[in-house]
Structure 1
Amino acid sequence: MPPVPGVSDSETLPFGGPVSESETFSENAQGDLLLAVADRRWRVRGWKKNLGPEQMRVNVQVRREVAEEHVMGREAAYYVDSFDLYAAKARYSYLKQASIELGVPEEIIKRDLGKLLLKLEGLQEASIQAALAPKNPTPTLSAEDELAALNLLRAPNLIERIEADLTRCGVVGESYNLLAGYLAAVSRKLDQPLAVLIQSSSAAGKSSLMDAVLNLMPEEERIQYSAMTGQSLFYLGETDLQHKILAIAEEEGVRQAAYALKLLQSDGELTIASTGKDEATGNL
């Protein structure tokens, strides 16, 4: 890699070596990273916006606490700037100016920046892993719960027990409709699940019937909307609806997305072509 103009070969962030100064990392209510080293106080803002590992653009403030009221004619010494910690030239410019403002040797500022960078890399990696983790992880059943579930599935009067449980939810006289909705809900585990459209006159209890069925389903496998736009289904994650129950309150709320819903039910997937920009070539 060619040398960066204005930066000596020795300008590297130290990642080891004995350091006698104690350091304390913390985070304030605004999410800023704080570092206290001896009489120096660091504050890093905007680090959570760096979602990729290629850059670390942050706003860094450093101030020096002093016991005297005045140091070189000033009550406090501090320096603040926004730059990319991964950019050697910008990093060198920052530590040089901060060294002048605080009256601290450049080696000390350089060492502090190294500590900040290592800490920020760890926090960024944890944030990326958290973002990639499943939004609603499936809970693990205990041995007792798993045995009780298997006993229910093997019960000879399974249908009667399901109808009785649905009746206890407060919906009476709708055993056939409740059972049909329940079967459609549990079919979410199949490759070609069932779909249900509840139709009746106004204020006849459609929402109560749907809620009674949904309340018996795991919360992490239910997705409920009051309405959907025509393009919303196309831009959901690739597996956001896989083996999930999609429930919309009223037909009017999903009228714009009716075409996409029909395709999703018949084909099991949705595809759409949209325009994007190639970052390497600039072509659309």
Structure 2
Amino acid sequence: MNKLDTSNSNNYEYITKHLEIHILGGIKTNKLESLRITLSIQKLKQENILRHTLDLYNDNQVEKFVRKVAERLEIGTSIVRRTLQEVTKELENYRFLLLQEYEEANKPFIKELSATEEKEAITFLKRKDLLTKTNEFIGKSGVIGERTNRLLMYLIFTSRKTNNPLHCISLGSSGVGKTHLQSKVSELIPEEDKVEITVLSANAFYYFNRTELQHKLILIEDLDGAESVLYPLRELQSKKRIIKTVVHKDARGNTKTIHLTVEGPVSVAGCTTQESIYEDNSNRSFLLYIDESQEQDSRIMNYQRLISAGKINEDQEHKSRELLKDVQRVLKPIKVINPFAEYLELPQSVFKPRRTNSHYLQFIEAITFYKQYQREQQVNEETGEVFIETTIEDIKQANELIIEVLLRKSDTINGATRNYLESLKKHLTVEKESTFTALEIRKKLKVKKTTQWRYHQQLMDNYYIKKVKIKGENLNRYEVTNPNEYKELEEAISKSLQECIIKINRSNVPKCSTIKVEQITKTKTAS
């Protein structure tokens, strides 16, 4: 039998007893309804060559070409027609092979855990000091400093597997490591569970398969480069689905209206320097402010030096990453019930308390979900639904981690201005000064004049600083109105959260009618 030679991807060959055919430029795999090719055809050992472009699925074109070849090359039409039919069949089969190879190459990688890997991951999840150990392994994987932020981010990413995922936005100045933190923590999430976006059009978002994004982590390197997708992302976050209506022509040419639906839920993470611009997105997210202290600078630069000197144990980092990824793989979807939820009240100082309250409760559920191998599975006798319950310990750990988030949510100034004010207070305390000039602080904190002017404008508008006059001086001096205001706010939030725990301890929380899963299994076995 004659075979199609595809060894040269730009020049396929098909040679029979009578004819020699070359398909130039290969074939396209994106339009299965046509088979358009450019070919050259000639009789064996002759120089008379006919070149032509045609669609092998278009019968009229093929018939005209058959007659043209027969006339030009002086050969029977039946031979030409049979040869073109054979070539068409060979090209069809080869195109299906190419499509199959493409699908295999682009099939999402899903790692099958070995019995040993699964056992190790489950043993890890059963540890009593699970959150502490998790944070330790995140550090061993190569995430330097940011102890609270990195654990918060990991738990937020874990919540993608629940029905109410959390979202986060990393905020900080340019070059402080926002993207680095997000990318390093996202390395601890299995590849099959995340979608990384650099640039994506809003329309492209609606052409994912219906369930392709379900329970996925969507990572946006820079929110400034993804403005077009922020609206559909917000809809996915709030409504857990997006729907677009488009006009479509069917095979008969009739115009119809169809609905493109992409299902959630999803967990979304992004980075930006511009907090105020993305207020709609930040309202739906945990705001994680990057540590810009000199101590963190020292830790990162020391790590960079150790890498350059070849003194970092890369094998240990790899093993830590793989273990935490395996931990993610063994977590199973299960409902979480918080029997203490009605006793959990946020401080009155928190802005937009409705949404923040929802985030607070979801974060507690995320911790319980992460500890699912330490909880007994129960079944609601009325609905038959399997669930696990939140404990007081989960709430205490959530309170410790979330206090900084609540503190920022209670602040009347944005994060960058708050960081400037706290650095300013620290400088005044060290220097034992009560007043300062803009120039003095600008030099000490290395802040641009225009940036400092914006900070001062916001601080004066909210009465955090005020202008003061000193006799004999023509300089503008400023004074911090209440150096302890942030500490007082933190203490008020801590006290409020602690009061919730006291209320829970005093209460006798009723439980719904439940039965343990093990009891059901034993009953079925006995019967």
User: TM-score w.r.t. structure 1 length?
Assistant: 0.74
Report the equivalent of 1:268.
240
| 1:183 corresponds to 2:190 | no
Aligned mate of 1:34, from 13, 16, 20: 13
Distance 2:36 2:201 in 1: 36
Report the equivalent of 1:59.
38
| 1:206 corresponds to 2:178 | yes
Counterparts in 2 of 1:143 and 1:112: CA distance versus 1, 3 Å: farther
| 1:123 corresponds to 2:94 | yes
Aligned mate of 2:229, from 237, 254, 257: 257
| 1:139 corresponds to 2:111 | yes
Distance 1:229 1:23 in 2: 47
Distance 1:201 1:250 in 2: 13
Q: Which SS does the other structure have where 2:242 is aligned?
A: coil
Give the CA deviation at 1:52.
4.5
Contact kept in structure 1, 2:22 and 2:41, CA below 8 Å: yes
Give the CA deviation at 1:167.
0.8
Report the equivalent of 2:206.
234
Distance 1:140 1:123 in 2: 31
Distance 1:53 1:226 in 2: 30
Distance 2:31 2:140 in 1: 50
Report the equivalent of 2:325.
none
Distance 2:58 2:230 in 1: 50
Give the CA deviation at 1:126.
3.5
Aligned mate of 2:56, from 85, 96, 112: 85
Q: Which SS does the other structure have where 2:41 is aligned?
A: strand
Report the equivalent of 1:151.
123
Counterparts in 2 of 1:111 and 1:254: CA distance versus 1, 3 Å: closer
Q: Which SS does the other structure have where 2:170 is aligned?
A: coil
Contact kept in structure 1, 2:27 and 2:36, CA below 8 Å: no
Letter in 1 for 2:185: V
Distance 1:256 1:121 in 2: 39
User: TM-score w.r.t. structure 2 length?
Assistant: 0.43
Q: Which SS does the other structure have where 2:37 is aligned?
A: strand
Give the CA deviation at 1:32.
4.1
Distance 1:227 1:261 in 2: 14
Aligned mate of 1:102, from 73, 76, 80: 73
Contact kept in structure 2, 1:277 and 1:283, CA below 8 Å: yes
| 1:165 corresponds to 2:137 | yes
Contact kept in structure 2, 1:79 and 1:98, CA below 8 Å: yes
Give the CA deviation at 1:278.
5.2
Distance 1:247 1:212 in 2: 12
Letter in 1 for 2:130: L
Give the CA deviation at 1:256.
4.2
Contact kept in structure 2, 1:222 and 1:247, CA below 8 Å: yes
Letter in 2 for 1:170: G
Q: Which SS does the other structure have where 2:13 is aligned?
A: strand
Q: Which SS does the other structure have where 2:3 is aligned?
A: strand
Q: RCO higher in 1 or 2 (8 Å CA, sep ≥ 6)?
A: 2
Give the CA deviation at 1:79.
1.9
Distance 1:86 1:226 in 2: 39
Higher helix share: 2
Distance 1:202 1:51 in 2: 42
- Could you tell which deviates more after superposition, 91-100 or 177-186? 91-100
| 1:113 corresponds to 2:80 | no
Give the CA deviation at 1:144.
3.6
Q: Which SS does the other structure have where 1:223 is aligned?
A: strand
Letter in 2 for 1:248: I
Contact kept in structure 2, 1:62 and 1:80, CA below 8 Å: yes
Counterparts in 2 of 1:93 and 1:203: CA distance versus 1, 3 Å: closer
Contact kept in structure 1, 2:232 and 2:242, CA below 8 Å: yes
Report the equivalent of 1:25.
4
Distance 1:259 1:222 in 2: 20
CA deviations over 1:198-227 (Å, ceiling 9, x no partner): 223444332222122111122233322335
Counterparts in 2 of 1:261 and 1:164: CA distance versus 1, 3 Å: same
Identity %: 24
Contact kept in structure 2, 1:55 and 1:84, CA below 8 Å: yes
Letter in 1 for 2:5: S
Aligned pairs, number? 255
Contact kept in structure 1, 2:19 and 2:42, CA below 8 Å: yes
Counterparts in 2 of 1:212 and 1:79: CA distance versus 1, 3 Å: same
Larger radius of gyration: 2
Letter in 2 for 1:103: E
Report the equivalent of 1:70.
none
Distance 2:254 2:115 in 1: 56
Counterparts in 2 of 1:121 and 1:248: CA distance versus 1, 3 Å: same
Letter in 2 for 1:190: T
- Could you tell which deviates more after superposition, 140-149 or 160-169? 140-149
Distance 1:177 1:171 in 2: 10
Structure 2: gaps of 5 or more residues: 257-527
Counterparts in 2 of 1:156 and 1:112: CA distance versus 1, 3 Å: farther
